[in-house]
Amino acid sequence: MQNFDGAELRHLALTGDTVTRQQAFSKLWDGFYRRLVHFARGWPAIPNDERADAATEALLAAFAALASYDPTQAFSAWLFGVARHKFQDAARHHHQRQWRQPPLPDDEAEKGAALAWHDDFPERSAAAELAGQCARAIAGLSGRDRRIAQLRFHEELNASQIGQALGLPAATVRWRIAAIRRQIQTQLELLHETA
């Protein structure tokens, strides 16, 4: 993804007047809100209708904590690390209050709905076909592996940055990326054999 200047954002947020701080937050919001909503999908315990709120809370927490950001490090990795903590809190909070509510529908229905749009386009291109197959293969990964896959293949973070964001050693991340690639390749080969 784009290279975001965290040092400049930190400087504006910490030294600017009210208008400058508002502009800095708008820049942060524009650059990361949708990406964090997508990242929140890696926590199935957070209901769909609460993911946008979780992303908003993560951005607010990150903005408030900009003084702790080290400008020598990748801003995206730092921000996704803050978001990870907020999403874990949101998932835990949802789990704690779930006992008072009737059980939620099976997660498979959510996955099926997310992928159903692929079946509505019988004349889709080969690229769209492959994207749909990859999405189905990624949907079969564990939550941790889906988060790693998103940060590596969508956000284009390296293993060290992913490790920083998710609180994992870089070597573990490299090992999981290799395993994820093998899993996706196997799933794609199975799909091609049955087609």
**Same domain for 134 and 155:** yes
Mean pLDDT of the chain: 82
pLDDT of residue 153: 85
CB 50 within 8 A of CB 98: no
Q: How many domains does the chain have?
A: 2
In the 8-state DSSP scheme, what is residue 150?
I
Domain ranges, residue 1: 1-104
Q: Which of 57, 88, 104 is the last residue of a domain?
A: 104
* CATH number for position 112: 1.10.10.10
In the chain, what is the greatest distance between 2 CA atoms, to the nearest angstrom?
61
For residue range 132-176, list pLDDT tens digits in order. 777 788 888 888 999 998 898 888 899 999 999 999 999 999 999
Q: Which of 104, 130, 145 is the last residue of a domain?
A: 104
For residue range 110-127, list pLDDT tens digits in order. 555 545 544 544 445 666
Q: Name the token pair of 115.
A: 């992928």
- In sequence order, the 6+-apart residues with CB closer than 8 A to the CB of 86 are 54, 57, 58, 61
